[in-house]
Amino acid sequence: MDTNAAPVEPAPGHLGEYDHAAVEARWRRVWAERGDYRTDLDLPDRPFYNLMMFPYPSAEGLHVGHIIPFAGGDIYGRWRRLMGDTVFEPMGFDAFGIHSENYAMKIGEHPAVVMRRAVANFRENQLARIGSMFDWSHQVNTAEPSYYRWTQWLFVRLFNAGLIEWREGAVNWCPSCLTVLADEQVEQGRCERCHTPVQTRYLRQWWIKITRYAQEMLDALDTLDWSESTKTMQRNWIGRSEGATILFDLEGCRRKDVTVFTTRPDTLFGATFLVIGADHPELEDFVPPERMGEVNAWRNKFPPTAAEPDFSIGMELGSSAIHPLTGARLSVWAAPYVLGGYGTGAIMAVPGHDARDWAFARAHSLPIVEVITGGNVDAAPYSGAGTLVNSGDFDGATSDDGGRRIIARLSELRRGQSSVQYKLRDWLISRQRYWGPPIPIIHCPKDGPVAVPEEDLPVLLPDVEDFRPRGTGLSPLATVEEWVNVPCPKCGEPARRETDVSDTFLDSAWYHLRYPSTDFDDVPFDKERTDTWLPVNMYIGGNEHAVRHLLYARFVMRVLHDMGLVPSPEPYTRFRAHGMIIMDGAKMSKSRGNVLNPDEYIERYGADTVRLFMMYLGPYTLGGDFRDKGITGMTRFIHRTWRATQLATGGDVTDDARERRRHRLIKQVEEDVAELRYNTAIAYLMEFARDLDHESADGTARRIDAETLLKLLAPFAPFVTEELWERTGHDGSVHERGTWPAYDAELAAPQRATVAITVNGKRRGELEVDAGTSEANLAALALGHPRVVELLDGREPRKVIAVVDRIVNIVTG
């Protein structure tokens, strides 16, 4: 065969030009008109809820990074549909929140106006073009009253269940955003949105008691089919740690005693002082009355949320504590290095065996005692295990055993017990901002905080002109007198509305419940619909939401399940975190100025090409480097498919080798798509398309191979495959449910095998054999191989290892 000959081209015009813009516009229109992607939610055959994290509609629009979840999730959904599932794939908008509000302020427009414009742009100009089969008849928008009415309903239900509390606490205050931030919105002491150093304020706020579910949520992680990285992050965030609580008596202050938490009860005899968190809500109770003023002045002097720990900051309070076993008198300190919000907010300091306590003791000339052998505590803290010394009766015990015995002794004295603590904190949901759902509470002078009756919901967000935050600790809503003043729902006396709005994460914590029920306005989620569709079968999104959104959503689902309102305690059966797309080795972000708009790529190459290209960049769950150079490879692939499938008109249907090749392809693509290994699935399709193209050129290409290629490619490139399906004479859609080709495992298995021959581990030849040729036969064939005979030169091999279909290794002396 002349290898340089170009394939025979058909007469010009025969195939038509591939015009991606025309093809995609046409099928977008046809699909919309026919309602191909409207799901019958009431009579699903095999319901499959395929969800992708919804975006917040920023004014900048989508960037190429968004294609990853939206196209990647859609490919999976389209595949499930071809496999026979009734796939529900909705999309919506996380439209409330500080981010949208800040942008509105920047451009001096009302957030509602900005939001409506951004949503329209996202939906009509961007999401609609990427070829995902979103069912827009069930769109969700968290900023619409028809949605946030039910967010408020959820708040009321949580409140009535005793899971929401109004209490004072040290909170993170962003002096630029002029609002409270949750702990997880603070990054290294700075606001995650504007990077301003965060301050601490003491305010009365609304908290959701998520900590009650810490253990349950930790345990249930084992039952979830989620990305391991995500589960690990949740485990770390929940942060279970085991240890003991120990009671110390106090003298010289209002409090009689204090409980501390430690993970090292074996070091109890090394405790030489106590430290109370500087942000402890009841710090004053630890201070002798005459020193109260001095301590408060000190406490207000420094920002407790410092970026870098500073162990020189601390103050001796003047009261003292009594060691529960030795009776020794220990000094009591306050310092910011101890967190008022974790454990009991107070610690016993064991400077010999804890690095932080050691640094503090050194800075303040406090005694350091060795109670565990293994280091030199004068030179450095030793935090490993060892043998107890200077510990009275417990000397000589190991750390483990000593710890257990000390807890037992404390227990007898009613001075301590083993204990479990979690890093997870309660969820602070108050925001002193405008652009969110008003918290549905009315404060009555007589009845205290009263939930707005469910029939009075929604509490509409009043339309105010000046929505900018005040910085007073009060939301802009507080200035709307006619809105704030209402009668108490309980007693009818004059009362005032809560003026804070709730955290955006409350909106997104339950949106998966709303999608199937958007056509119900009397309930947040219809029972039957919810039982049919929940939990979500597949959820795809970024790992940046691993611990907040995903944890809150799990919490809400669990609570609703305990209330008997939803069929499962977990919202998402399967979750996969997609990888991050980087650009020139750097994360894509606005601040780097390397955010790419997908519109121009779709315009230029078409959505099919862009989808394929993005999925081909690297392993889906690891991400990859975006360099648009390689996109031409995808254009070639689609052109090749365009040509090859239209020219494959007949062929020998019974051709055994080609039939085996076809079955093998189906198996490979199916197995890869099931595990989101899109890059390798595409590689197999390209290989197949290349072969088919060559066969088309010499007129032997089989129609069934073309059909198979179109079916397998359909989830990746929905437009062009649909067009070609029609052009190759088919009625109906290539995406029709349940039409994925089946493969025969026997046919998919290779029939011939190339077996390598190695001598002492070095490759010296190969054998072409029937697949499954026995080890004995392989060994015999290998020993008869001329090259092997030559190398052995009459010597007897010491050992011959043969592995069926793989290798023969001959070992000589």
For RNA, the binding residues in 363-422 under the rule CB under 7 A are 421
The correct pick among 450, 758, 778, 782 for binding RNA (CB under 7 A) is: 758
Which two three-digit tokens encode residue 70? 């939206």
- Give 145 or 542: the residue with its C-beta nearer to RNA: 542
Interaction of residue 740 with RNA, rule CB under 7 A: no
- Give 464 or 580: the residue with its C-beta nearer to RNA: 580
Q: How far, in Å, are 31, 37, 91 from residue 34 at the CA level?
A: 5, 9, 19
Interaction of residue 544 with RNA, rule CB under 7 A: yes
CA distance 709 to 701: 12
> Quick one: 357 exposed, middle or buried, by C-beta within 10 A (0-12, 13-18, 19+)?
buried
The correct pick among 74, 693, 707, 722 for binding RNA (CB under 7 A) is: 693
CB of 625 to RNA, least distance (A): 5
- Give 497 or 661: the residue with its C-beta nearer to RNA: 661
Write out the binding residues for RNA, residues 582-621 only, by CB under 7 A. Answer: 587, 616-619
Q: Which residue carries 């979103």 as its tokens?
A: 134
CB of 226 to RNA, least distance (A): 12
Write out the binding residues for RNA, residues 154-183 only, by CB under 7 A. Answer: 183
Is-contact 469 179, C-beta < 8 A? yes
- Secondary structure element (H or E) that encloses residue 181, with its range: strand 179-181
Chain CA centroid to CA 217, Å: 15
Contact letters (x/-) for RNA, 767-806, by CB under 7 A?
Answer: --------------------x-----------x-x-x--x
Interaction of residue 762 with RNA, rule CB under 7 A: yes
- Give 527 or 763: the residue with its C-beta nearer to RNA: 763
Q: How far, in Å, are 471, 578, 605 from residue 616 at the CA level?
A: 48, 13, 15
CA distance 760 to 117: 70
Find the part of the chain contacting RNA (CB under 7 A) among 212-220, 362-370, 601-609, 685-693.
Answer: 685-693
CB of 274 to RNA, least distance (A): 11
Q: Which residue carries 């955290």 as its tokens?
A: 503
Contact letters (x/-) for RNA, 224-243, by CB under 7 A?
Answer: ----xx--xx--xx-x-x-x
Contact letters (x/-) for RNA, 640-679, by CB under 7 A?
Answer: x------------------------------------x-x
Q: ω before 458 within 30° of 0 (cis)?
A: yes
List the one residue out of 424, 430, 552, 345 whose CA is nearest residue 172.
430
Write out the binding residues for RNA, residues 36-65 only, by CB under 7 A. Answer: none
- Give 585 or 732: the residue with its C-beta nearer to RNA: 585
CB of 69 to RNA, least distance (A): 16
- Secondary structure element (H or E) that encloses residue 241, with its range: strand 241-251
Write out the binding residues for RNA, residues 94-113 only, by CB under 7 A. Answer: none
Interaction of residue 136 with RNA, rule CB under 7 A: no
CA distance 81 to 736: 8
List the one residue out of 190, 168, 175, 202 whose CA is nearest residue 305.
190
Question: Considering CB under 7 A, how many residues would be counted as binding RNA?
Answer: 91
Interaction of residue 690 with RNA, rule CB under 7 A: yes
Write out the binding residues for RNA, residues 64-83 only, by CB under 7 A. Answer: none
Local structure of 720: helix, strand or coil: helix
Find the part of the chain contacting RNA (CB under 7 A) among 195-203, 474-482, 518-526, 689-697.
Answer: 689-697
- Give 354 or 507: the residue with its C-beta nearer to RNA: 354
Interaction of residue 764 with RNA, rule CB under 7 A: yes
- Give 52 or 214: the residue with its C-beta nearer to RNA: 214
Interaction of residue 812 with RNA, rule CB under 7 A: no
List the one residue out of 141, 125, 138, 140 whose CA is nearest residue 28.
125
DSSP state, residue 32: H
Interaction of residue 625 with RNA, rule CB under 7 A: yes
- Give 173 or 337: the residue with its C-beta nearer to RNA: 337
Which two three-digit tokens encode residue 513? 């419940």
Interaction of residue 188 with RNA, rule CB under 7 A: yes
Write out the binding residues for RNA, residues 320-349 only, by CB under 7 A. Answer: 336-339, 342-343, 345, 347
- Please count the other Cβ atoms lying within 10 Å of the Cβ belonging to residue 19: 12
The correct pick among 635, 696, 708, 733 for binding RNA (CB under 7 A) is: 635
> Quick one: 4 exposed, middle or buried, by C-beta within 10 A (0-12, 13-18, 19+)?
exposed
Interaction of residue 3 with RNA, rule CB under 7 A: yes
CB of 554 to RNA, least distance (A): 17
Interaction of residue 696 with RNA, rule CB under 7 A: no
Q: ω before 535 within 30° of 0 (cis)?
A: yes
CB of 423 to RNA, least distance (A): 3
Chain CA centroid to CA 9, Å: 50
Residues in CB range of 767: below 8 A, 6 or more apart: 754, 755, 757, 778, 781, 782, 785, 808
CB of 736 to RNA, least distance (A): 28
> Quick one: 115 exposed, middle or buried, by C-beta within 10 A (0-12, 13-18, 19+)?
buried
CB of 683 to RNA, least distance (A): 3
The correct pick among 15, 105, 756, 783 for binding RNA (CB under 7 A) is: 756
In sequence order, the β-bridge partners of residue 416 are 246
CB of 678 to RNA, least distance (A): 10
Write out the binding residues for RNA, residues 251-290 only, by CB under 7 A. Answer: 261-264, 277
The correct pick among 686, 709, 734, 778 for binding RNA (CB under 7 A) is: 686
CB of 684 to RNA, least distance (A): 8
Is-contact 790 776, C-beta < 8 A? no
Chain CA centroid to CA 533, Å: 21
Q: How far, in Å, are 127, 160, 206, 436, 813 from residue 427 at the CA level?
A: 32, 17, 8, 16, 70
Which two three-digit tokens encode residue 116? 């409506």
CA distance 755 to 339: 64
CB of 350 to RNA, least distance (A): 7
- Secondary structure element (H or E) that encloses residue 697, with its range: helix 678-697
